[in-house]
Amino acid sequence: MSLPSALDTLQRFGPHLVYPGMYGLLLLSALGMPLPEDLTLAAAGYLVSKNLMSPSLAALVGVLGVLTGDQFIYSLGKRFGPRVVAHRWFSHVLTPERYTWIRGRFHRHGTKMVFFARFVSGLRGPVFLTAGVLQMPRGRFLLYDFAGSIFNVPLFMLAGYLAGPHLESILLHFHRAWHVALLLLTLVAAYFLLRRLARRRLGIDGGESGGA
């Protein structure tokens, strides 16, 4: 679904139902509706720029909406555990390969993964589901998710406020930039890991050579 569709949907709710409507759209996004939450937040920001929504109330509803949706995804993982990885209902969100990769990142970076996943649309669902599968304490998950949402929600609302009709292309470039940044970070981490392993290996070989 596109930004114009999100705008049209929000406007159809009218001035009295636009906030419950925004909350509902964010929940439906968590349930798999083909309307990314980023577009709903951006559409709300655009309506704020037209004085059709209150900025503070829209931001509050946005944070509550994404937190509720994230809690739902997390709860599914916590309730069903590793079984979700093999279940066909979740196959489009969390494949076994992706689960293995995310689990490794959790073991390496801990709960910070929840915070950073808030900023990458393709990782949110898989990371939050995995957090539940790994039995992360609910309070800790909520804390890091809330910390990410108070930056993430205003960010996309501000984008909608400033960019308006040009927002879709901006969002596309934003997500591409995040993916490139993640790739670069992964490559840098891999470089330092390989260098550390190489030095350790050379140290062992050197010790053996010296004693020969």
Let me know if residue 44 belongs to a domain.
yes
Q: Write the pLDDT tens digit of every residue in 123-137.
A: 888 999 999 999 999
Residue 13 pLDDT greater than 70, yes or no: yes
Mean per-residue pLDDT for 160-182? 63
Let me know if residue 53 belongs to a domain.
yes
**Does residue 154 or residue 92 have the better pLDDT?**
154
Q: Write the pLDDT tens digit of every residue in 24-65.
A: 999 988 887 777 888 889 889 988 988 889 999 999 999 999
What is the domain count for the chain? 1
Mean per-residue pLDDT for 187-205? 64
Let me know if residue 125 belongs to a domain.
yes
Q: How far apart are CA 136 and CA 23, in angstroms?
A: 26
Which runs of consecutive H residues, i.e. helices, occur in the chain? 3-12, 14-30, 37-49, 55-80, 83-86, 96-109, 112-117, 121-133, 138-163, 167-211
Let me know if residue 159 belongs to a domain.
yes
The whole-number pLDDT of residue 148 equals 93
Let me know if residue 192 belongs to a domain.
no
Let me know if residue 69 belongs to a domain.
yes
Let me know if residue 33 belongs to a domain.
yes
Let me know if residue 158 belongs to a domain.
yes
- Residue 151, domain extent: 3-177
